[in-house]
Amino acid sequence: MGVALYRKYRSRTLSEVVGQEHVTTLLANAIKSGKVAHAYLFTGPRGVGKTSIARILAHEINELPYSDESIHLDIIEIDAASNNGVEDIRDLRDRVQIAPVSAKKKVYIIDEVHMLSKPAFNALLKTLEEPPEHVVFILATTDIDKVPETIISRTQRHTFRRASQQDIIKNLQRIAKAEGIKTDEAALELIAKHADGSFRDSVSLFDQLTSGAHTSTLSREEAVASLGLISDESIETLMTATMHGDISAIDSTLHNFENAGIPARTIARQLTDYLRAHIADNSHFTVLIDSLLDVSKSQYPELKLLTVLSMFVQPTSQQPASPVPSKAAKRSTATAKTVTKPSVVDPPATEKEQPTRTTTATMSSNVPSAEFDWDALVAHVRTHHVALHSVLSKCEPEVNGTKVILYTKSAFYKKKLDDPKYRSLLGSSLAELGMDVEIETIASQKPLKDSQAAKIAAIMGGGEEVSVEDA
């Protein structure tokens, strides 16, 4: 059985490390000058070389040669994910007092250190505060936010960067040359992009693709198929259907992708990459990119992706992009109009910000008019428009005939509802339900109707001003 490429071509010295020179240069200089710290903290994304550099550093501190098979009694690795209890750290605290067997320093590498329990961190802290002269700690983590500040402050911190695509490509070219593997540069670019800044992942993918290649040269087309991606031509086809508002073609294309086993989240990511590459010439793509980001968060990503693409249409002239109405909304002649009332500036004497109002006139519909039903509207958008539901769920309605006031409680949610995308979704939903109403948004709490309740609220709120409307 052959050795995996990522292990075979793993760096052996600090000088061989690619992409983290801002870290390795400092570490090399510290060793050269004899100013090795008693504790280091390596933080950064997975697969960028934290553990590998920790092992190299441990060996170079002790002037020992390093290879993937290197084992030394004075270099101890601990996986905090499985050794995260206080007893494990107390045992370590006892063992660090023992002098090295043969090396200059006893080095402890604690990987995924953020997985330690709170009592374990407290036990480790005592050792970091007064470490023996013969001990060096190297802590590594992918989640620095979970490491206590007391630990961070007692270490020399080094932040690792995601590898650039160019560095990843150069590294893959070096490996390909050494292994005698012919590659298409476009295939290497695709692997680099798919690796998401991880040298380890990029080499593993390269190993996977080249070991199962059907041709003498690894092509981009073969890489696309092996990685479970969709071709550039398919992306173009899907975008053409999207730009023309051809819902039938969008649905058919996505259905074909689904049958091919390509997840909706993968499609959304590829579409995002495509749009980002063309955003300089099509600034309205930002609207679609923003919506595509919600696909990965959805419980039903396939349906979410279909909805996102179906609701977008290329703007004309200087007008901003507006979503394409749903099929049900197309049966209605309704259009959403926005009329913003002039803002009233209060005298400087008052410090309390007055609630802002935006009136959205919706809907004059051909479908039979139904009474406004808040619960029905919320249930509808929960099924069809997850993002809109997250905003509406924070609002309180006040119905007065054909006029509905939505109290958004904050300017943030008001801004969301006043956004053209959300406004169009709300209008489409009202049309589908046959509700002919005028919507007004106000960035404040819904006023209390009962004067006695208002007095109680004022007391509970510590005497804060309470808005009261007589019933």
- Predicted pLDDT at 216: 67
Closest by CA to 321, choosing from 428, 423, 430, 429, is 423
User: Is residue 9 within 8 Å of 168, Cβ to Cβ?
Assistant: no
pLDDT of residue 346: 44
Q: Going by C-beta distance under 8 Å and a sequence separation of 6 or more, which residues neighbour residue 87?
A: none
Domain 337-344+353-442 - what CATH class? alpha beta
The rounded mean pLDDT for the chain is 79
- Evaluate if residue 135 carries a pLDDT over 90: yes
The region of weakest confidence among 22-26, 163-167, 384-388, 431-435 is 384-388
- The answer to whether 359 touches 438, Cβ cutoff 8 Å, is yes
Q: Cα(426)–Cα(429) distance, rounded to whole angstroms? A: 5
Residue 447's pLDDT band (cuts 50, 70, 90): confident
Q: What average pLDDT does range 87-107 have in this prediction?
A: 89
Look up the pTM and report it.
0.57
Domains in the chain: boundaries: 5-159, 165-226, 232-310, 337-344+353-442
Name the band, by pLDDT with cuts 50, 70 and 90, for residue 155: very high
Band of residue 70 on the pLDDT scale cut at 50, 70, 90: low
Listed in sequence order, the residues at least 6 apart from 269 whose beta carbon sits closer than 8 Å to its beta carbon are 296
283-311 per-position pLDDT tens digit:
778 888 888 988 888 888 898 898 888 88
Query: Which of the four pLDDT bands, split at 50, 70 and 90, describes residue 370?
Result: low
Of 69-78, 126-135, 367-376, 413-422, the range with the lowest mean pLDDT is 367-376
Residue 467 has pLDDT above 60, yes or no: no
Contact by Cβ (8 Å): 120, 88: yes
Question: pLDDT tens digits for 179-225?
Answer: 888 888 888 888 888 888 888 888 888 888 887 655 667 888 888 88
pLDDT of residue 319: 40
Residue 324 has pLDDT above 80, yes or no: no
Specify the pLDDT at position 423.
87
Q: How far apart are CA 329 and CA 48, in angstroms?
A: 49
In this structure, the number of other CB atoms found within 10 A of the CB of residue 135 comes to 21
Identify the residue whose tokens are 């969709």. Answer: 230
* CATH code for the structural domain at 165-226: 1.10.8.60
Q: Quick: pLDDT tens for 396-412.
A: 898 888 889 998 877 87
Q: Residue 147 to residues 23, 39, 83, 122, 143: CA-CA distances in angstroms?
A: 20, 14, 16, 11, 7
Rounded to whole angstroms, the Cα distance separating 149 from 145 reads 9
pLDDT at position 315 is 52
Helix (H, G, I), strand (E, B) or coil at 399: strand
> Position of tokens 């209890």?
85
Which pLDDT band, with edges at 50, 70 and 90, does 431 fall under? confident
pLDDT at res. 290:
86
* Superfamily name with CATH number, domain 5-159: P-loop containing nucleotide triphosphate hydrolases (3.40.50.300)
pLDDT confidence of 104, banded at 50, 70, 90?
very high
pLDDT value of residue 149: 94
Residue 188: CB partners within 8 Å, gap ≥ 6? 169, 172, 173, 176, 206
Q: What is the pLDDT of residue 311?
A: 81
pLDDT at residue 374 tops 70: yes
Q: Is the pLDDT of residue 81 over 70?
A: yes
DSSP state, residue 340: P
* Token pair of 464 as six digits: 């804060």
Question: What pLDDT is stored for residue 93 in this prediction?
Answer: 85
Higher pLDDT, 409 or 161: 161
